[in-house]
Structure 1
Protein backbone atom coordinates (compact mmCIF):
# COMPACT_ATOMS: atom_id res chain seq x y z
CA UNK A 1 0.00 0.00 0.00
CA UNK A 2 1.37 3.40 -0.95
CA UNK A 3 1.62 6.24 1.54
CA UNK A 4 -1.20 8.15 -0.17
CA UNK A 5 -3.45 5.08 -0.02
CA UNK A 6 -2.90 4.72 3.75
CA UNK A 7 -3.89 8.31 4.52
CA UNK A 8 -7.54 9.10 5.33
CA UNK A 9 -8.93 12.54 4.53
CA UNK A 10 -10.69 13.71 7.74
CA UNK A 11 -13.04 15.95 5.76
CA UNK A 12 -14.57 12.94 4.00
CA UNK A 13 -14.07 10.19 6.59
CA UNK A 14 -17.72 10.55 7.60
CA UNK A 15 -20.67 12.10 5.73
CA UNK A 16 -20.92 15.88 5.93
CA UNK A 17 -24.70 15.88 5.67
CA UNK A 18 -27.04 17.48 5.27
CA UNK A 19 -28.69 15.74 8.19
CA UNK A 20 -32.44 15.25 7.69
CA UNK A 21 -34.74 17.39 9.80
CA UNK A 22 -35.81 15.35 12.82
CA UNK A 23 -36.84 15.85 16.40
CA UNK A 24 -37.06 13.65 19.49
CA UNK A 25 -38.17 14.12 23.06
CA UNK A 26 -35.25 14.27 25.51
CA UNK A 27 -33.02 12.42 26.15
CA UNK A 28 -33.24 10.94 22.63
CA UNK A 29 -32.72 7.39 21.32
CA UNK A 30 -30.14 6.06 18.90
CA UNK A 31 -32.53 3.85 16.93
CA UNK A 32 -34.64 6.86 15.95
CA UNK A 33 -31.71 8.83 14.50
CA UNK A 34 -31.03 9.22 10.79
CA UNK A 35 -28.26 8.56 9.99
CA UNK A 36 -27.19 6.16 12.75
CA UNK A 37 -24.11 7.44 14.62
CA UNK A 38 -20.81 5.59 14.43
CA UNK A 39 -19.64 4.51 17.90
CA UNK A 40 -16.67 2.52 16.66
CA UNK A 41 -18.57 -0.77 16.67
CA UNK A 42 -16.76 -1.95 13.56
CA UNK A 43 -13.64 0.22 13.64
CA UNK A 44 -12.17 0.56 17.14
CA UNK A 45 -9.25 -1.78 17.82
CA UNK A 46 -8.01 -2.18 21.38
CA UNK A 47 -4.37 -2.42 22.43
CA UNK A 48 -4.66 -3.64 26.06
CA UNK A 49 -4.15 -0.16 27.49
CA UNK A 50 -6.79 -0.51 30.25
CA UNK A 51 -6.49 -4.16 31.24
CA UNK A 52 -8.02 -4.85 34.63
CA UNK A 53 -9.44 -1.35 35.10
CA UNK A 54 -12.92 -0.79 36.52
CA UNK A 55 -14.85 2.06 34.88
CA UNK A 56 -18.11 3.95 35.38
CA UNK A 57 -19.40 6.05 32.48
CA UNK A 58 -22.44 8.26 33.05
CA UNK A 59 -24.62 8.56 29.99
CA UNK A 60 -22.89 5.43 28.74
CA UNK A 61 -25.89 4.08 26.88
CA UNK A 62 -25.51 6.13 23.70
CA UNK A 63 -23.53 8.79 21.86
CA UNK A 64 -20.11 9.63 23.21
CA UNK A 65 -20.73 7.47 26.27
CA UNK A 66 -21.35 4.38 24.16
CA UNK A 67 -18.24 5.01 22.07
CA UNK A 68 -16.14 5.33 25.23
CA UNK A 69 -17.71 2.20 26.74
CA UNK A 70 -16.88 0.15 23.63
CA UNK A 71 -13.34 1.48 23.52
CA UNK A 72 -12.70 0.94 27.24
CA UNK A 73 -13.99 -2.63 27.01
CA UNK A 74 -11.81 -3.39 23.99
CA UNK A 75 -8.86 -1.97 25.93
CA UNK A 76 -9.53 -4.48 28.71
CA UNK A 77 -11.72 -2.62 31.24
CA UNK A 78 -14.91 -3.77 32.91
CA UNK A 79 -17.50 -1.07 32.28
CA UNK A 80 -20.52 0.17 34.24
CA UNK A 81 -22.88 2.56 32.51
CA UNK A 82 -25.51 4.80 34.06
CA UNK A 83 -28.58 5.93 32.13
CA UNK A 84 -32.26 6.81 32.46
CA UNK A 85 -34.87 4.05 32.49
CA UNK A 86 -36.23 5.41 29.20
CA UNK A 87 -32.83 4.69 27.60
CA UNK A 88 -32.86 0.98 28.49
CA UNK A 89 -32.83 -0.24 24.88
CA UNK A 90 -29.74 1.84 24.10
CA UNK A 91 -28.07 0.65 27.31
CA UNK A 92 -28.70 -2.99 26.47
CA UNK A 93 -27.12 -2.52 23.05
CA UNK A 94 -24.04 -0.94 24.64
CA UNK A 95 -23.85 -3.84 27.10
CA UNK A 96 -23.88 -6.26 24.18
CA UNK A 97 -20.78 -4.60 22.73
CA UNK A 98 -19.02 -4.67 26.11
CA UNK A 99 -19.73 -8.39 26.40
CA UNK A 100 -18.58 -8.89 22.81
CA UNK A 101 -15.21 -7.50 23.91
CA UNK A 102 -15.04 -10.15 26.63
CA UNK A 103 -15.57 -7.74 29.51
CA UNK A 104 -18.20 -7.41 32.22
CA UNK A 105 -20.97 -4.81 31.70
CA UNK A 106 -22.91 -3.39 34.61
CA UNK A 107 -26.19 -1.61 33.81
CA UNK A 108 -27.20 1.05 36.32
CA UNK A 109 -30.47 2.82 35.47
CA UNK A 110 -31.65 5.81 37.44
CA UNK A 111 -31.87 9.58 37.68
CA UNK A 112 -28.60 11.46 38.18
CA UNK A 113 -30.51 14.41 39.60
CA UNK A 114 -30.79 12.37 42.80
CA UNK A 115 -27.90 12.71 45.24
CA UNK A 116 -28.76 9.33 46.75
CA UNK A 117 -28.72 7.65 43.34
CA UNK A 118 -25.28 9.08 42.56
CA UNK A 119 -23.93 7.71 45.82
CA UNK A 120 -25.53 4.33 45.13
CA UNK A 121 -23.90 4.21 41.68
CA UNK A 122 -20.44 4.41 43.19
CA UNK A 123 -21.25 1.76 45.79
CA UNK A 124 -22.72 -0.61 43.18
CA UNK A 125 -19.60 -0.34 41.02
CA UNK A 126 -17.31 -0.85 44.00
CA UNK A 127 -19.21 -3.85 45.30
CA UNK A 128 -19.65 -5.49 41.88
CA UNK A 129 -16.23 -4.83 40.35
CA UNK A 130 -14.19 -4.68 43.56
CA UNK A 131 -13.12 -1.11 42.96
CA UNK A 132 -13.37 1.96 40.75
CA UNK A 133 -10.41 3.18 38.69
CA UNK A 134 -11.97 5.27 35.92
CA UNK A 135 -14.84 7.71 36.42
CA UNK A 136 -16.15 9.34 33.23
CA UNK A 137 -18.56 12.18 34.02
CA UNK A 138 -20.27 12.37 30.66
CA UNK A 139 -24.08 12.60 31.03
CA UNK A 140 -25.63 15.94 30.05
CA UNK A 141 -28.91 17.63 29.24
CA UNK A 142 -29.44 20.55 26.85
CA UNK A 143 -32.38 22.30 25.20
CA UNK A 144 -32.69 25.07 22.65
CA UNK A 145 -33.47 28.38 24.37
CA UNK A 146 -35.27 31.12 22.50
CA UNK A 147 -34.12 33.73 25.02
CA UNK A 148 -33.27 34.20 28.70
CA UNK A 149 -36.92 35.10 29.37
CA UNK A 150 -38.06 31.75 27.94
CA UNK A 151 -36.08 29.34 30.14
CA UNK A 152 -38.48 27.23 32.22
CA UNK A 153 -37.32 26.87 35.79
CA UNK A 154 -37.91 23.12 36.00
CA UNK A 155 -35.82 22.41 32.91
CA UNK A 156 -33.13 24.87 34.03
CA UNK A 157 -32.90 22.90 37.25
CA UNK A 158 -32.55 19.67 35.27
CA UNK A 159 -29.63 21.12 33.29
CA UNK A 160 -27.92 22.23 36.49
CA UNK A 161 -28.51 19.00 38.41
CA UNK A 162 -27.52 16.63 35.60
CA UNK A 163 -24.59 18.64 34.24
CA UNK A 164 -23.16 20.07 37.48
CA UNK A 165 -24.65 18.62 40.65
CA UNK A 166 -24.24 15.00 39.54
CA UNK A 167 -20.50 15.30 38.76
CA UNK A 168 -19.93 16.76 42.21
CA UNK A 169 -22.06 14.09 43.92
CA UNK A 170 -20.30 11.31 41.99
CA UNK A 171 -16.76 12.60 42.48
CA UNK A 172 -17.43 13.21 46.17
CA UNK A 173 -18.51 9.59 46.61
CA UNK A 174 -15.87 8.11 44.31
CA UNK A 175 -12.66 9.82 45.41
CA UNK A 176 -12.46 8.05 48.80
CA UNK A 177 -12.68 4.73 46.90
CA UNK A 178 -10.00 5.59 44.32
CA UNK A 179 -6.32 4.70 44.56
CA UNK A 180 -3.22 6.31 43.12
CA UNK A 181 -3.25 5.70 39.37
CA UNK A 182 -7.01 6.23 39.07
CA UNK A 183 -8.45 8.80 36.70
CA UNK A 184 -11.47 11.09 36.43
CA UNK A 185 -12.50 12.42 33.02
CA UNK A 186 -15.24 15.00 32.50
CA UNK A 187 -17.02 15.82 29.27
CA UNK A 188 -17.08 19.57 28.87
CA UNK A 189 -17.76 21.23 25.48
CA UNK A 190 -16.67 23.88 23.06
CA UNK A 191 -19.75 25.63 24.46
CA UNK A 192 -17.78 26.19 27.65
CA UNK A 193 -15.39 28.42 25.67
CA UNK A 194 -17.50 29.73 22.76
CA UNK A 195 -21.06 29.77 24.13
CA UNK A 196 -24.19 30.00 22.03
CA UNK A 197 -26.99 32.21 23.33
CA UNK A 198 -29.46 29.48 22.43
CA UNK A 199 -27.68 27.05 24.78
CA UNK A 200 -26.98 29.57 27.53
CA UNK A 201 -27.63 27.35 30.56
CA UNK A 202 -25.90 24.32 29.02
CA UNK A 203 -22.90 26.50 28.14
CA UNK A 204 -22.80 27.81 31.72
CA UNK A 205 -22.48 24.27 33.06
CA UNK A 206 -19.79 23.30 30.58
CA UNK A 207 -17.70 26.35 31.51
CA UNK A 208 -18.13 25.41 35.16
CA UNK A 209 -16.92 21.87 34.42
CA UNK A 210 -13.68 23.31 33.05
CA UNK A 211 -13.08 25.02 36.40
CA UNK A 212 -14.17 21.87 38.25
CA UNK A 213 -11.69 19.76 36.26
CA UNK A 214 -8.76 22.08 36.87
CA UNK A 215 -9.51 22.59 40.56
CA UNK A 216 -10.02 18.87 41.20
CA UNK A 217 -6.80 18.06 39.34
CA UNK A 218 -4.93 20.40 41.67
CA UNK A 219 -6.54 18.84 44.74
CA UNK A 220 -6.09 15.20 43.78
CA UNK A 221 -2.70 15.38 42.06
CA UNK A 222 -0.74 14.75 45.28
CA UNK A 223 -2.83 11.60 45.79
CA UNK A 224 -1.88 10.27 42.36
CA UNK A 225 -5.36 10.70 40.89
CA UNK A 226 -5.43 12.50 37.55
CA UNK A 227 -8.37 14.66 36.44
CA UNK A 228 -8.84 15.77 32.83
CA UNK A 229 -11.59 16.71 30.39
CA UNK A 230 -12.55 16.26 26.77
CA UNK A 231 -14.22 19.19 25.00
CA UNK A 232 -16.30 17.96 22.05
CA UNK A 233 -17.46 20.18 19.24
CA UNK A 234 -20.57 19.33 17.18
CA UNK A 235 -20.97 15.55 17.55
CA UNK A 236 -23.84 13.50 16.08
CA UNK A 237 -25.50 11.97 19.15
CA UNK A 238 -29.13 11.57 20.35
CA UNK A 239 -28.67 14.81 22.30
CA UNK A 240 -28.79 16.75 19.01
CA UNK A 241 -32.23 15.76 17.63
CA UNK A 242 -33.51 15.97 21.22
CA UNK A 243 -32.35 19.58 21.65
CA UNK A 244 -35.30 21.09 19.79
CA UNK A 245 -33.75 22.66 16.70
CA UNK A 246 -34.82 20.56 13.66
CA UNK A 247 -34.23 23.47 11.25
CA UNK A 248 -30.55 23.63 12.25
CA UNK A 249 -29.80 19.98 11.59
CA UNK A 250 -29.18 20.13 7.84
CA UNK A 251 -26.10 22.30 8.42
CA UNK A 252 -25.05 20.76 11.74
CA UNK A 253 -21.24 20.77 12.00
CA UNK A 254 -20.61 22.39 8.64
CA UNK A 255 -19.17 25.53 10.27
CA UNK A 256 -16.07 23.63 11.45
CA UNK A 257 -12.77 23.79 9.52
CA UNK A 258 -13.21 20.10 8.67
CA UNK A 259 -16.63 20.93 7.27
CA UNK A 260 -18.71 18.28 9.02
CA UNK A 261 -20.03 17.04 12.35
CA UNK A 262 -17.98 14.54 14.29
CA UNK A 263 -19.02 11.00 15.11
CA UNK A 264 -18.88 9.55 18.66
CA UNK A 265 -16.20 7.08 17.54
CA UNK A 266 -13.89 10.00 16.84
CA UNK A 267 -13.79 10.93 20.54
CA UNK A 268 -13.11 7.49 22.00
CA UNK A 269 -9.36 7.70 21.52
CA UNK A 270 -9.13 10.92 23.54
CA UNK A 271 -10.81 9.29 26.54
CA UNK A 272 -8.67 6.16 26.24
CA UNK A 273 -5.52 8.28 26.11
CA UNK A 274 -6.49 10.26 29.22
CA UNK A 275 -7.43 7.05 31.08
CA UNK A 276 -4.25 5.19 30.15
CA UNK A 277 -0.66 5.20 31.32
CA UNK A 278 0.22 7.07 28.13
CA UNK A 279 -1.17 10.15 29.92
CA UNK A 280 0.55 9.53 33.26
CA UNK A 281 1.88 13.11 33.35
CA UNK A 282 -1.33 14.73 32.09
CA UNK A 283 -3.70 16.27 34.62
CA UNK A 284 -5.84 19.38 34.52
CA UNK A 285 -5.91 19.25 30.70
CA UNK A 286 -8.81 20.01 28.39
CA UNK A 287 -8.51 18.01 25.16
CA UNK A 288 -10.46 19.57 22.27
CA UNK A 289 -12.14 17.31 19.71
CA UNK A 290 -13.87 20.01 17.72
CA UNK A 291 -13.26 19.51 14.00
CA UNK A 292 -10.75 22.35 14.11
CA UNK A 293 -12.78 25.00 15.92
CA UNK A 294 -10.56 26.65 18.53
CA UNK A 295 -11.48 26.64 22.20
Structure 2
Protein backbone atom coordinates (compact mmCIF):
# COMPACT_ATOMS: atom_id res chain seq x y z
CA UNK A 1 0.00 0.00 0.00
CA UNK A 2 1.04 3.61 -0.50
CA UNK A 3 1.21 6.07 2.40
CA UNK A 4 1.58 9.86 2.25
CA UNK A 5 3.11 11.85 5.10
CA UNK A 6 3.32 15.51 6.02
CA UNK A 7 6.75 16.33 7.43
CA UNK A 8 8.11 19.37 9.24
CA UNK A 9 11.81 19.96 9.84
CA UNK A 10 14.45 22.42 10.92
CA UNK A 11 17.08 22.04 8.21
CA UNK A 12 19.87 23.76 10.12
CA UNK A 13 21.79 20.61 10.99
CA UNK A 14 21.14 18.75 7.73
CA UNK A 15 22.88 18.75 4.37
CA UNK A 16 19.55 19.18 2.65
CA UNK A 17 16.68 16.81 1.97
CA UNK A 18 18.18 14.34 -0.51
CA UNK A 19 20.10 11.27 0.59
CA UNK A 20 23.85 11.54 -0.03
CA UNK A 21 27.08 9.85 0.97
CA UNK A 22 28.45 12.64 3.16
CA UNK A 23 26.59 14.22 6.06
CA UNK A 24 23.15 13.78 7.60
CA UNK A 25 20.11 14.43 5.41
CA UNK A 26 16.43 14.69 6.23
CA UNK A 27 15.59 11.86 3.84
CA UNK A 28 18.04 9.43 5.47
CA UNK A 29 16.83 10.36 8.94
CA UNK A 30 13.16 9.91 8.05
CA UNK A 31 13.73 6.66 6.17
CA UNK A 32 15.55 5.13 9.13
CA UNK A 33 12.60 5.84 11.43
CA UNK A 34 9.98 4.64 8.94
CA UNK A 35 11.94 1.46 8.20
CA UNK A 36 12.04 0.66 11.91
CA UNK A 37 8.26 1.06 12.19
CA UNK A 38 7.63 -0.97 9.01
CA UNK A 39 10.21 -3.63 9.98
CA UNK A 40 11.60 -3.55 6.46
CA UNK A 41 13.76 -1.09 4.47
CA UNK A 42 11.83 1.54 2.56
CA UNK A 43 12.43 4.65 0.51
CA UNK A 44 10.43 7.86 0.36
CA UNK A 45 9.87 10.35 -2.44
CA UNK A 46 9.28 13.99 -1.57
CA UNK A 47 7.35 16.78 -3.24
CA UNK A 48 10.67 18.53 -3.77
CA UNK A 49 14.25 18.68 -2.54
CA UNK A 50 15.31 21.37 -0.12
CA UNK A 51 18.92 22.53 0.12
CA UNK A 52 21.26 22.45 3.07
CA UNK A 53 19.95 24.72 5.83
CA UNK A 54 16.46 25.08 4.32
CA UNK A 55 13.44 24.25 6.49
CA UNK A 56 9.94 22.89 5.87
CA UNK A 57 6.60 23.20 7.58
CA UNK A 58 4.73 21.26 4.90
CA UNK A 59 6.95 18.79 3.07
CA UNK A 60 4.90 15.93 1.60
CA UNK A 61 6.35 12.47 0.93
CA UNK A 62 5.05 9.08 -0.08
CA UNK A 63 6.33 5.54 0.32
CA UNK A 64 5.19 1.98 -0.42
CA UNK A 65 5.03 -0.70 2.25
CA UNK A 66 3.62 -4.16 2.89
CA UNK A 67 3.38 -3.42 6.60
CA UNK A 68 -0.11 -2.89 7.96
CA UNK A 69 0.09 -0.13 10.56
CA UNK A 70 -2.46 2.36 11.88
CA UNK A 71 -1.89 5.95 10.80
CA UNK A 72 -0.92 6.80 14.37
CA UNK A 73 2.03 4.41 14.17
CA UNK A 74 3.48 6.28 11.20
CA UNK A 75 3.10 9.56 13.11
CA UNK A 76 3.71 8.89 16.81
CA UNK A 77 5.89 5.85 16.27
CA UNK A 78 8.18 7.66 13.84
CA UNK A 79 8.32 10.78 15.96
CA UNK A 80 9.52 8.71 18.90
CA UNK A 81 12.50 7.67 16.77
CA UNK A 82 13.18 10.99 15.06
CA UNK A 83 15.37 13.81 16.38
CA UNK A 84 13.55 16.85 17.73
CA UNK A 85 14.34 18.74 14.52
CA UNK A 86 12.12 16.45 12.39
CA UNK A 87 8.46 15.60 12.94
CA UNK A 88 5.81 13.69 11.00
CA UNK A 89 2.66 15.83 11.18
CA UNK A 90 0.15 13.46 9.57
CA UNK A 91 -0.13 10.18 7.69
CA UNK A 92 -2.78 8.97 5.24
CA UNK A 93 -3.21 6.04 2.84
CA UNK A 94 -3.36 7.21 -0.79
CA UNK A 95 -4.09 5.72 -4.18
CA UNK A 96 -1.27 3.77 -5.82
CA UNK A 97 -0.95 6.38 -8.57
CA UNK A 98 -0.40 9.25 -6.12
CA UNK A 99 3.09 10.70 -6.32
CA UNK A 100 4.25 13.33 -3.85
CA UNK A 101 6.32 15.04 -6.53
CA UNK A 102 4.47 14.56 -9.80
CA UNK A 103 0.92 14.86 -8.42
CA UNK A 104 1.68 18.31 -6.95
CA UNK A 105 0.45 21.28 -8.96
CA UNK A 106 2.12 24.02 -6.89
CA UNK A 107 4.68 24.70 -4.21
CA UNK A 108 4.74 27.60 -1.77
CA UNK A 109 7.74 29.01 0.06
CA UNK A 110 8.10 31.64 2.72
CA UNK A 111 11.28 33.61 3.34
CA UNK A 112 11.72 35.19 6.78
CA UNK A 113 14.06 38.18 6.77
CA UNK A 114 15.26 40.04 9.84
CA UNK A 115 16.00 43.63 8.83
CA UNK A 116 17.98 45.26 11.61
CA UNK A 117 21.48 46.76 12.02
CA UNK A 118 22.46 44.03 14.51
CA UNK A 119 22.37 40.35 13.60
CA UNK A 120 19.98 38.04 15.49
CA UNK A 121 21.11 35.27 17.85
CA UNK A 122 18.03 33.16 18.66
CA UNK A 123 16.88 33.21 15.03
CA UNK A 124 20.35 32.95 13.48
CA UNK A 125 19.62 29.64 11.74
CA UNK A 126 15.89 30.28 11.23
CA UNK A 127 15.92 33.62 9.40
CA UNK A 128 17.85 35.60 6.86
CA UNK A 129 19.38 38.91 7.95
CA UNK A 130 20.13 42.20 6.24
CA UNK A 131 21.62 45.14 8.13
CA UNK A 132 20.68 48.14 5.97
CA UNK A 133 17.14 49.61 5.95
CA UNK A 134 14.87 48.05 3.33
CA UNK A 135 11.95 49.78 1.62
CA UNK A 136 9.19 47.19 1.27
CA UNK A 137 7.19 49.43 -1.09
CA UNK A 138 10.05 49.46 -3.60
CA UNK A 139 10.47 45.69 -3.25
CA UNK A 140 6.78 45.00 -3.82
CA UNK A 141 6.82 47.19 -6.93
CA UNK A 142 9.76 45.17 -8.25
CA UNK A 143 8.15 41.84 -7.31
CA UNK A 144 5.25 42.50 -9.69
CA UNK A 145 7.69 42.14 -12.61
CA UNK A 146 8.18 38.45 -11.76
CA UNK A 147 4.55 37.37 -11.60
CA UNK A 148 3.47 35.14 -14.48
CA UNK A 149 5.10 32.59 -16.77
CA UNK A 150 8.71 33.45 -17.57
CA UNK A 151 12.13 32.09 -18.36
CA UNK A 152 13.78 32.37 -14.92
CA UNK A 153 17.34 31.69 -16.10
CA UNK A 154 18.53 34.87 -14.36
CA UNK A 155 17.40 33.38 -11.04
CA UNK A 156 18.63 29.84 -11.62
CA UNK A 157 21.68 28.21 -10.06
CA UNK A 158 24.43 27.08 -12.40
CA UNK A 159 23.97 23.63 -10.82
CA UNK A 160 20.26 23.49 -11.65
CA UNK A 161 19.34 20.25 -13.42
CA UNK A 162 15.84 21.24 -14.56
CA UNK A 163 15.26 20.68 -18.26
CA UNK A 164 13.47 24.00 -18.71
CA UNK A 165 13.97 27.34 -16.94
CA UNK A 166 10.33 28.31 -17.59
CA UNK A 167 8.16 28.51 -14.49
CA UNK A 168 4.84 30.11 -13.59
CA UNK A 169 5.04 32.28 -10.48
CA UNK A 170 1.49 32.94 -9.30
CA UNK A 171 2.26 34.71 -6.00
CA UNK A 172 5.06 36.92 -4.75
CA UNK A 173 3.98 39.12 -1.86
CA UNK A 174 5.75 40.62 1.09
CA UNK A 175 4.69 41.97 4.45
CA UNK A 176 6.63 43.92 7.04
CA UNK A 177 5.95 43.98 10.75
CA UNK A 178 8.55 45.77 12.78
CA UNK A 179 12.01 44.45 11.91
CA UNK A 180 10.62 41.41 10.10
CA UNK A 181 9.79 41.08 6.41
CA UNK A 182 7.99 37.97 5.17
CA UNK A 183 8.09 37.01 1.49
CA UNK A 184 5.49 34.49 0.24
CA UNK A 185 6.00 32.81 -3.15
CA UNK A 186 3.90 30.23 -4.99
CA UNK A 187 4.72 28.62 -8.34
CA UNK A 188 4.01 25.45 -10.24
CA UNK A 189 7.62 24.51 -9.45
CA UNK A 190 10.86 26.26 -8.55
CA UNK A 191 14.36 26.11 -10.02
CA UNK A 192 17.44 25.44 -7.90
CA UNK A 193 18.12 28.53 -5.73
CA UNK A 194 15.30 30.40 -7.49
CA UNK A 195 13.68 31.73 -4.32
CA UNK A 196 16.95 32.74 -2.68
CA UNK A 197 18.09 34.50 -5.86
CA UNK A 198 14.78 36.37 -6.08
CA UNK A 199 15.13 37.49 -2.46
CA UNK A 200 18.68 38.65 -3.13
CA UNK A 201 17.52 40.72 -6.10
CA UNK A 202 14.62 42.26 -4.17
CA UNK A 203 16.99 43.22 -1.36
CA UNK A 204 19.13 45.06 -3.92
CA UNK A 205 16.04 47.09 -4.80
CA UNK A 206 14.94 47.51 -1.19
CA UNK A 207 18.23 49.06 -0.11
CA UNK A 208 18.21 51.36 -3.17
CA UNK A 209 21.20 49.85 -4.92
CA UNK A 210 18.86 49.17 -7.84
CA UNK A 211 15.57 50.63 -9.05
CA UNK A 212 12.43 48.43 -9.30
CA UNK A 213 12.52 48.17 -13.15
CA UNK A 214 15.92 46.44 -12.87
CA UNK A 215 14.13 43.25 -11.85
CA UNK A 216 12.29 43.14 -15.18
CA UNK A 217 15.50 43.87 -17.07
CA UNK A 218 17.28 41.09 -15.18
CA UNK A 219 14.46 38.65 -15.95
CA UNK A 220 14.49 39.55 -19.65
CA UNK A 221 18.29 39.28 -19.85
CA UNK A 222 18.22 35.62 -18.71
CA UNK A 223 21.79 35.90 -17.39
CA UNK A 224 22.40 34.72 -13.82
CA UNK A 225 25.80 36.45 -13.78
CA UNK A 226 24.07 39.84 -13.77
CA UNK A 227 21.91 39.06 -10.74
CA UNK A 228 22.37 39.56 -7.02
CA UNK A 229 24.23 37.11 -4.76
CA UNK A 230 22.25 34.09 -3.59
CA UNK A 231 20.65 34.91 -0.25
CA UNK A 232 21.07 32.84 2.91
CA UNK A 233 19.28 29.48 3.17
CA UNK A 234 18.45 30.07 6.82
CA UNK A 235 15.28 32.06 6.21
CA UNK A 236 13.72 29.74 3.63
CA UNK A 237 10.76 27.45 4.40
CA UNK A 238 8.82 25.04 2.19
CA UNK A 239 5.42 26.17 3.48
CA UNK A 240 2.86 24.39 1.29
CA UNK A 241 2.36 21.91 -1.52
CA UNK A 242 -0.79 22.03 -3.64
CA UNK A 243 -2.67 18.87 -4.65
CA UNK A 244 -6.05 18.18 -6.24
CA UNK A 245 -8.88 17.32 -3.87
CA UNK A 246 -9.21 13.87 -5.48
CA UNK A 247 -6.17 12.68 -3.53
CA UNK A 248 -8.07 13.17 -0.26
CA UNK A 249 -5.10 14.42 1.71
CA UNK A 250 -5.77 15.75 5.22
CA UNK A 251 -7.04 19.30 5.54
CA UNK A 252 -3.87 20.02 7.52
CA UNK A 253 -1.60 19.10 4.59
CA UNK A 254 -0.61 22.74 4.13
CA UNK A 255 1.38 22.43 7.35
CA UNK A 256 1.92 24.75 10.27
CA UNK A 257 1.50 28.43 9.48
CA UNK A 258 4.63 30.39 10.25
CA UNK A 259 4.30 33.33 12.62
CA UNK A 260 3.63 36.54 10.72
CA UNK A 261 6.62 38.27 12.27
CA UNK A 262 9.25 35.61 12.17
CA UNK A 263 10.29 32.37 13.88
CA UNK A 264 10.22 32.41 17.64
CA UNK A 265 9.87 36.18 17.97
CA UNK A 266 7.04 38.00 19.70
CA UNK A 267 5.92 41.55 18.88
CA UNK A 268 7.95 44.18 20.67
User: How would you bin the TM-score normalised by the shorter chain?
Assistant: under 0.3
TM-score where L is the length of structure 2: 0.26
Higher helix share: 1
Structure with greater strand percent: 2
* Larger radius of gyration between Structure 1 and Structure 2: 2
The alignment's TM-score, normalised by the length of structure 1, stands at 0.24
